[in-house]
Structure 1
Amino acid sequence: MRASPAPAKRAARQETSGAAAATCEISSPGTYTYTRFGYCVAGVNVVYILRDTNGKEIGRGTLEVSTSATLQKNATTWDEQITVRMTSARDAVTALTAKFRSSCGTGCTATDDEPWYGGNLVVGQFHTGTVSYSSAPLPGATAEFTTAYRMYVTSPGVALVDPNAGWDNPAKIRCDDAVGGTSPAGCAVPSVMPVVPLKTTAGEPGGAVAAYEWAQRNQQGAWGLRGHPLTRLTSGVGGRTASTCGGFKQEPELVNGDRCGDFPFGETKEGGAPGAQCVRLIPSLGSGEWDTYILNDAHEHNPAAPCVQAHVTPDEKAFADDQLAEGFTDQRVIDRDAFELTISTPDTGPDIRCREDDKPASALSNGDGWFWNTTEPVPLVQQTVKELGAGERPTRALACVGRDTAKGTGTSGDITGWLDARAFRAAHPADSTLSRCHLVARILGGKGSTEITRFNLVPCWHSGLNTGTPSMRTFEFAAQNLIKGPEEAFGSSDALLYEVTPVYKNENSTIPIGVTMSATIQRANGTNEELFPNVYITNTVKNTGQFNLGN
Structure 2
Amino acid sequence: MKRARRLLAAIAALALTAALLTLGASPAAAAPPSAGRAAPQGHGTCAATAPGSALRRQGAAWFCFKTGGPATARDLAAMHRLAGAHGPATARVAARDPDVDPADPLDLCREGIKEVNTARSTYCVQRPIGYELRGADGKTVIEHAEGVVITSARVGKTEWEEEVRAAITQKTDKMPKMTLNLRADCTGPCTGGTAFGGQVLPAVGRELFTKITYRTTVAKDSETRSQLLYHATGTILAPGTPRNTMDDWQGPWLRCDNKVGSGPGCADDTHMANVTFHKSQYRAAAVSYEWAQKNLKSAVTGTKMNPLHRDPNSEESWTKTKRRRTCENLPYPFPRDPLLVPEDSCDEFPFARSSEGGKPNNLCVDILPKAVGGVWDVANVRVMRGDPDTAACVRSHVTEQDNEAAGNELAQATRSARIINGEPYFVIVDN
**Both structures adopt the same fold (TM-score exceeding 0.5):** yes
Q: Which has the higher helix share?
A: 2
Do the aligned residues in 1 keep the contact of 2:302 with 2:427 (CA within 8 Å)? yes
Which of these residues, 57, 65, 79, is aligned with residue 24 of structure 1?
65
Find 2:184's aligned residue among 102, 114, 135.
Answer: 102
Task: Read off the aligned partner of 1:280 and give its amino acid letter.
Answer: D
Q: CA RMSD in A?
A: 4.0
Greater mean alpha carbon deviation, residues 119-128 or residues 191-200: 119-128
1:214 equivalent in structure 2: 291
Mapped partners of 1:225, 1:293: distance in 2: 22
Task: Kindly provide the amino acid, as one letter, of the partner of residue 289 in structure 2.
Answer: Y
- Change beyond 3 A, Cα 1:247–1:17: same
Quote the Cα distance in structure 1 between the aligned partners of 2:282 and 2:132: 67
CA drift of 1:315 comes to 5.5
Per the TM alignment, residue 235 of structure 1 is displaced from its structure 2 partner at its CA by 0.9
Verify: 1:135 aligned to 2:216, yes or no: yes
- Judged with a 3 Å threshold, the aligned counterparts in structure 2 of structure 1 residues 114 and 252 are, in CA distance, closer, same or farther, namely closer
Aligned runs of 1:182-261 on 2, under 5 Å?
185-199=264-278, 207-220=284-297, 221=299, 223-235=301-313, 237-238=318-319, 240-241=322-323, 244-245=326-327, 247-250=330-333, 252=335, 254=337, 260-261=346-347
Query: Cα gap change, 1:230/1:205 in structure 2, threshold over 3 Å: closer, same or farther?
Result: closer
Indicate yes or no: 2:124 matched with 1:70. Answer: no
Query: Does structure 1 conserve the Cα–Cα contact (< 8 Å) formed by 2:216 and 2:265?
Result: no
Cα distance change of structure 1 residues 97 and 261 upon mapping to structure 2, 3 Å threshold? closer
Give the 3-state SS of the residue equivalent to 1:198 in structure 2.
Answer: strand
Give the structure 2 partner of residue 262 of structure 1. 348
- The answer on whether the counterparts of 1:244 and 1:262 sit within 8 Å (CA) in structure 2 is yes
Deviations 1:421-477 (A, max 9, x none): xxxxxxxxxxxxxxxxxxxxxxxxxxxxxxxxxxxxxxxxxxxxxxxxxxxxxxxxx
CA drift of 1:141 comes to 4.0
Amino acid in the other structure paired with 1:59: I
Q: 8 Å contact 1:113–1:132 — kept in the other structure?
A: no
Match of 1:303 in 2: 389
Q: List runs of 5+ in structure 1 lacking aligned partners.
A: 1-8, 346-551
- Per the TM alignment, residue 168 of structure 1 is displaced from its structure 2 partner at its CA by 0.9
What is the Cα deviation at residue 123 of structure 1?
Answer: 5.7
Higher relative contact order (CA 8 A, sep 6+): 2
Which of residues 359, 364, 372 is equivalent to 1:278?
A: 364
What residue is the counterpart of 1:3 in the other structure?
none
What is the CA-CA distance between 1:107 and the residue it aligns to?
A: 1.5
Give the match's secondary structure for 1:249: coil
AA aligned to 1:249 is Y
Q: What is the Cα deviation at residue 55 of structure 1?
A: 3.1
> Could you tell me how far apart the structure 2 residues matched to 1:67 and 1:37 are?
17
What is the CA–CA distance in structure 2 between the aligned matches of 1:122 and 1:281, rounded to whole Å? 63
**Per-residue deviation, residues 36-76 of structure 1 (Å, max 9, x unmatched):** 5433334x322233333333414242231232333365551
In 2, Cα distance between equivalents of 1:136 and 1:189 = 17
Distance 2:204 2:371 in 1: 65
Q: CA 1:109 to 1:327, structure 2 compared with 1: closer, same or farther past 3 Å?
A: closer
Whether the 8 Å contact between 1:279 and 1:302 is mirrored in structure 2 is yes
| Amino-acid identity (%) | 23
Paired with 2:179 and 2:400, the residues of 1 have a C-alpha distance of: 66
CA distance 1:321–1:288, change in 2 (3 Å): same
Asked if 2 retains the 8 angstrom alpha-carbon contact of 1:150 and 1:164, the reply is: yes
The corresponding residue for 1:294 is 383
> 1:285-314 deviations in whole A, cap 9, x for unaligned?
6765664333345xxx25353322345665
Q: Provide Cα deviations, 1:175-210, integer angstroms capped at 9, x if missing partner.
A: 544333xx5554544445444233456xx9955544
Is residue 206 of structure 2 the alignment partner of residue 164 of structure 1? no
Q: Structure 1: which amino acid aligns with 2:134?
A: R
Secondary structure of the residue aligned to 2:197 is: coil
Equivalent residue runs for 1:121-132 within 5 Å: 126-132=207-213
CA apart distance, 1:83: 1.5
Residue 213 and residue 125 in structure 1: after superposition, are their counterparts in 2 closer, same or farther (change >3 A)?
A: closer
Q: Which residue of 1 aligns with 2:168?
A: 85
Q: Distance in 1 between matches of 2:284 and 2:204?
A: 62
Q: 1:153 aligns with which of 234, 247, 262?
A: 234
Quote the offset at 1:166 in angstroms.
Answer: 1.8
Q: Which amino acid aligns with 2:275?
A: V
Alignment of 1:356-395 (within 5 A): none
Correspondence 1:38 to 2:122: yes
Does the CA contact (< 8 Å) of 1:209 and 1:343 recur in 2? yes
Give the aligned residue type for 2:310. R
Distance 2:249 2:295 in 1: 48
Q: Judging changes above 3 Å, is the alpha-carbon distance between structure 1 residues 48 and 294 closer, same or farther for their aligned structure 2 residues?
A: same
Match of 2:410 among 319, 324, 327: 324
Q: 1:206–1:71: structure 2 CA closer, same or farther, 3 Å change rule?
A: closer
The answer as to whether partners of 1:59 and 1:89 remain within 8 angstroms in 2 is no
Who is 2:142 aligned against?
Answer: 59
Higher Cα radius of gyration:
1
Letter in 2 for 1:62: A
Alignment check: 8 A CA contact 1:250 1:311 kept: no
The number of residues matched between the two structures is: 326
2:94 aligned residue: none
**SS at the partner of 2:414?**
helix
Once the two structures are superposed, what CA deviation does each residue of 1:511-549 show, in whole Å capped at 9, x if it has no partner? xxxxxxxxxxxxxxxxxxxxxxxxxxxxxxxxxxxxxxx
Distance 1:124 1:265, change over 3 A: closer
Structure-1-length-normalised TM-score: 0.49
Whether the 8 Å CA contact 2:366–2:384 is kept in 1: the answer is yes
Would the aligned equivalents of 2:363 and 2:391 in 1 still touch at CA under 8 Å?
Answer: yes
User: How far apart are the structure 2 equivalents of 1:51 and 1:97?
Assistant: 19
2:135 paired with 1:48: no
Q: Map Cα deviations across residues 110-129 of structure 1 (whole Å, 9 max, x no partner).
A: 2x324222547666665443
Question: 1-side partners of 2:373 and 2:206: how far apart?
Answer: 62
Residue 28 to residue 56, structure 1, CA distance change in 2 (3 Å): closer
Shift of 1:108: 0.7
1:429 aligned residue? none
Provide the TM-score with structure 2 as the length reference. Answer: 0.61
Aligned-partner residue type, residue 189 of structure 2: G
Q: Aligned partners of 2:206 and 2:409: how far apart in 1?
A: 48
Measured against aligned partners, the alpha-carbon deviations of 1:374-412 in whole angstroms (never above 9, x if no partner) come to: xxxxxxxxxxxxxxxxxxxxxxxxxxxxxxxxxxxxxxx
Partner Cα separation in structure 1 for residue 352 and residue 43 of structure 2: 48
SS in 2 for 1:115: strand
